[in-house]
Amino acid sequence: MKRVFSGVQPTGNIHLGNYLGALRQFVELQEDHECIYCIVDEHAITVPQDPKELRKHILDVASLYLAVGVDPKKSIVFVQSDVPGHAELGWVLNCNCYTGELSRMTQFKAKSHNKESAPTGLFTYPVLMAADILLYDTDIVPVGNDQKQHIELCRDIAIRVNNTKKKTFVVPEGRYLKEGARIMALDDPTQKMSKSAPNIHSRISLLDDPAKIKKSIMKATTDSEGVIRFDPENKPGVSNLMNIYSVLAGVSLEQIEKDYEGKGYGDFKKDLVEITVNALAPIKARYEEIRYSDELIDILKDGAARANAIAKPVMQRVKDNFGLGLGR
Ligand code: TYM
């Protein structure tokens, strides 16, 4: 069985982009893969975090994993900092990655706002991400398109180490969906939907109430043509909404075009509100059940123990191949 690893940062509310680009894949893959899903709290501290809020967000994201359908009987769910191998392997990989490679990362450029000095953790963030993946001999990494550059770097580091040391790592593949891999901001369809954008109407969070969902969708940027047609280049706003509609309702883009021929954006948006509210209602209900249950903590503790058991021999292999420690 192939092994899958992925992670989500515990920062802010998980939104439709995270769900349609990544979490949806997590649920699908667990049926016939060995899946490991992580809440990457060590990544979150690359930008300032309030400790109390961070702890809360860790449990929020863990609950959302379960609420969207990740099944702890099929998948391992755990918190990154509960497995020491991530930071440990991160260091070894830092010694096998170059500042030139990291300087090219577009997310670093965006997050550091091209400032001359930025936290080192923000700079080496993709190396920790590579450690997350390589620590489990991962074959497949389900993510949204925005992580492509990081996955390529992870592959480069793995290949480099395998070529210079003994074969140490499994070289993973990214897995990106055709539709949903890049959900755009509702207020500015040239930007990806993100947790950190100041305008709350730029995104739909999985826990938004129906009134907020309605407002965000009805306000969403479209264009003046008034025709529902999929054309991401010339009609990015409408195409983004069509993408969301298509995935949530399970209707093809062509069918949407046919169904809305002669109709305006108002009708289309009203239907999209209904589809979105109906799709998110069961997730919200399950979230409420799980979030404050003792079961959640047990699942995460059990997940950490199972993740550690897989990580330990891989870390020992790394130490052996690099000559670290006393050996066995
Ligand atoms: P994060 O927390 O920003 O996002 C979690 C997942 O959601 C996807 N995503 C999107 N997909 C489609 N449209 C969007 N607008 C959108 N925004 C986010 C992301 O691609 C991601 O799959 N660096 C990662 C977390 C991470 C990780 C890992 C992932 C750390 N270690 C190891 C995989 C494997 C991140 O910040 O994701």
State the Cα–Cα distance between residues 42 and 72, nearest whole angstrom.
22
Where do the CATH 1.10.240.10 domains begin and end in the chain?
Answer: 200-288
The pLDDT tens digits of the residues spanning 89-121 come to 999 999 999 999 999 999 898 888 778 888 999
> Could you give the dihedral angle defined by the CA atoms of residues 297, 300, 302 and 305, in that order, rounded to the nearest 10 degrees?
-130
List the CATH code of the domain at 200-288. 1.10.240.10
pLDDT at 251: 96
Mean pLDDT of the chain, nearest integer: 96
Residue whose CA lies nearest to ligand 1 atom number 31: 129
pLDDT at 112: 83
CA angle 279, 258, 177 (to 5 degrees): 50
Q: What fold, for 3-182+294-322?
A: Rossmann fold (3.40.50)
Number of neighbouring beta carbons within 10 Å of residue 104: 12
- pTM, two decimals, is 0.97
Residue 148 Cα to ligand 1 middle (Å)? 10
The pLDDT tens digits of the residues spanning 222-271 come to 999 999 999 999 999 999 999 999 999 999 999 999 999 999 999 999 99
Kindly give the residue spans of alpha helices, DSSP state H, lying in 146-234.
Answer: 148-164, 210-219
- Containing 102, the helix (H) or strand (E) segment is helix 99-103
The pLDDT tens digits of the residues spanning 196-234 come to 899 999 999 999 999 999 999 999 999 999 999 999 999
Where do the CATH 3.40.50.620 domains begin and end in the chain?
Answer: 3-182+294-322
Instruction: Give catalytic residues, as residue numbers.
Output: 111, 192, 195
Asked whether the predicted pLDDT for residue 13 surpasses 90, the reply is no
Q: Which atom of ligand 1 is nearest to the CA of 180?
A: 12
Amino acid at 50: D
